[in-house]
């Protein structure tokens, strides 16, 4: 009894645990394409030396495909292209703040990792975390800050996160969020307290894709004067009155930016949806400045950058099986016909009076000929009229003796089907002739080769 109670308790606990376990998604055979991509950075850096490469500070990225889920994070990186260039240029190069996770894992890339560098390290970061799961899902986060190191753009703190997943309901959801705080541009000519960008894209298995993009900049000042930002650049805010002194300070700050070759404009925004795909991109502002007087010698920063894209394509339904070829529609003989009389497959003739009603297949032609040699009518010997009994009996009686049966000629055999399903054998004969020619050519070539070998040896 005690054992049964223990088993019951264990079973109840297991049932509760299974019920409470979260449902996970799996990529089923109905999914043809899945693609989730997210990139976020407190300061997105577009480097063009030696070539264009997207990186940044407090940088995170995630990606999900049919094959794997990947997550990366770094305190500071020039992007994949720049990292490859530096690694190939110097065997001693290593970016300690760059970490990655992947599912399925490899010998060098685990499913989860943590890293970073001590606070205060130039270009470094306080903490990074990446994880990839079988769901599939991928998440990456980074947070930290950067001190002044002579760059025109200084960010005191910030964070970013990237995430992508296939939800249990079959929807692909991608989210990128970035924040930059305590920003100073051009030696304090432009400042703002914080900027945040969030980009979310969702593609459900049924229904239209959706996008959401939110950009917020708080406390924007130019020369200490409240300012507004547009795709045309900076301007005096129209929300508060500005006096002559404030206008002069604003113009002086703009001149300072121009002297250093710095331009500040609003970051372009993108919100696109299509068949099974969605994309959203944005940022707080774009800062450009020149570092060298040559092609590609400028740098571009995107403060509070976030990019998100999701794609989900369903597999096309299976095509129906092809209809049978015309000659293969029916393997049985046409309705109303049967095996020829006298063949082994012919059923025996019915006996008794029911033979007269046997249908179109009785009597057979041979029986009919035998019946014709017998009197059609027989009398009773007393002058009574003839009675129609001999004909059906003769038709029903089996035939014996040496006289051959005059059975009806069997129907001509159906010719073999050719490759196209037509009831003629022209294509089949051509195919056989072609094979014969090929065999003859092969035989002739072999004979010539052997003769040549013998001539060489002799």
Q: Where are the domains of the chain?
A: 28-312
C-alpha to C-alpha distance for 433 and 180, rounded to whole angstroms: 81
Q: What is the pLDDT of residue 221?
A: 94
Length of the chain equals 458
Determine the number of helices (DSSP H) and then strands (DSSP E) in the chain.
6, 19
Q: What is the pLDDT of residue 28?
A: 67
Gap between the Cα atoms of 172 and 165, Å rounded: 6
**Quick one: tokens of 206?**
């049924």
CB-based burial, 394-404: b 16+ in 10 Å, e otherwise: bbbeeeeeeee
8 Å CB contact between 308 and 200: yes
Question: Under DSSP, is residue 360 helix (H, G, I), strand (E, B) or coil?
Answer: coil
CA dihedral 121→149→140→270, nearest 10 degrees, is 180
The confidence score (pLDDT) of residue 441 equals 80
Structure tokens at 411: 């129907």
CB atoms within 10 A of CB 385: 7
Helix (H) or strand (E) holding 43: strand 31-47
Q: Which SS3 state, helix, strand or coil, does residue 145 take?
A: coil
Q: Which pLDDT belongs to residue 365?
A: 47
What 3-state DSSP class applies to 221? strand
In angstroms, the CA 120 to CA 259 distance is 30
Backbone dihedral angles phi then psi of residue 457, each to the nearest 5 degrees: -70, -30
CA distances 99 to 26, 70, 208, 306, 426, Å, are 26, 11, 35, 19, 70
Query: For residue 351, with 0-12 CB atoms within 10 Å meaning exposed, 13-18 middle and 19 or more buried, which class applies?
Result: exposed
- Whole-number Å distance between alpha carbons of 185 and 180: 13
Give the number of other CB atoms < 10 A from CB of residue 36.
28
Count CA within 13 A, CB hemisphere, residue 81. 11
Rama region for 134: left / alpha / beta (φ>0; ψ in -120 to 50; rest): alpha
**Spans of the chain below 70 pLDDT:** 1-28, 47-53, 117-126, 146-150, 291-297, 318-319, 321-428, 456-458
């Amino acid at each position: 009894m005690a054992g049964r109670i223990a088993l019951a308790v264990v079973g109840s606990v297991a049932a509760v645990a299974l019920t409470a376990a979260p449902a996970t998604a799996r990529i089923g055979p109905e999914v043809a394409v899945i693609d989730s991509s997210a990139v976020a950075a407190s300061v997105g850096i577009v480097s063009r030396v030696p070539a264009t490469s997207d990186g940044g500070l407090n940088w995170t990225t995630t990606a999900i495909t049919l094959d794997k889920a990947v997550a990366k994070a770094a305190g500071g990186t020039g992007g994949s292209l720049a990292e490859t260039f530096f690694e190939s240029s110097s065997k001693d190069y290593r970016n300690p703040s760059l970490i990655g996770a992947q599912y399925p894992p490899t010998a060098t890339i685990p499913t989860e990792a943590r890293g970073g560098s001590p606070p205060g390290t130039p270009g470094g970061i306080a903490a990074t975390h990446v994880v990839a799961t079988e769901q599939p899902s991928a998440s990456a986060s980074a947070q930290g800050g950067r001190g002044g190191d002579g760059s025109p753009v200084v960010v005191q703190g910030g964070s970013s996160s990237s995430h992508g997943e296939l939800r249990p309901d079959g929807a692909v959801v991608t989210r990128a969020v970035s924040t930059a705080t305590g920003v100073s541009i051009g030696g304090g000519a432009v400042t703002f307290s914080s900027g945040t960008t969030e980009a979310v894209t969702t593609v459900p298995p049924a229904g239209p894709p959706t996008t959401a993009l939110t950009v917020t900049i708080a406390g924007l000042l130019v020369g200490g004067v409240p300012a507004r930002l547009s795709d045309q650049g900076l301007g005096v805010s129209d929300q508060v009155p500005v006096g002559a002194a404030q206008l002069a300070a604003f113009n002086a700050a703009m001149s300072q930016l121009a002297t250093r070759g710095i331009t500040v404009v609003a970051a372009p925004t993108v919100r696109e949806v299509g068949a099974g795909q969605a994309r959203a991109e944005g940022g707080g502002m774009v800062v450009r400045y020149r570092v060298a007087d040559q092609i590609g010698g400028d740098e571009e920063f995107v403060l509070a950058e976030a990019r998100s894209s999701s794609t989900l394509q369903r597999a096309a339904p299976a095509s129906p099986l092809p209809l049978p070829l015309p000659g293969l529609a029916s393997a049985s003989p046409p309705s109303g016909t049967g095996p020829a009389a006298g063949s082994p497959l012919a059923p025996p003739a019915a006996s008794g009076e029911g033979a007269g009603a046997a249908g179109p297949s009785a009597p057979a032609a041979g029986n009919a000929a035998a019946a014709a040699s017998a009197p059609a009518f027989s009398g009773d010997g007393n002058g009574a009229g003839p009675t129609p009994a001999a004909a059906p009996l003769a038709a029903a009686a089996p035939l014996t003796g040496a006289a051959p049966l005059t059975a009806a000629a069997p129907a001509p055999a159906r010719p073999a089907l050719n490759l196209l399903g037509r009831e003629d054998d022209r294509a089949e004969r051509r195919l056989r002739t072609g094979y014969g020619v090929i065999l003859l050519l092969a035989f002739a070539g072999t004979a010539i080769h052997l003769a040549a070998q013998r001539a060489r040896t002799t």
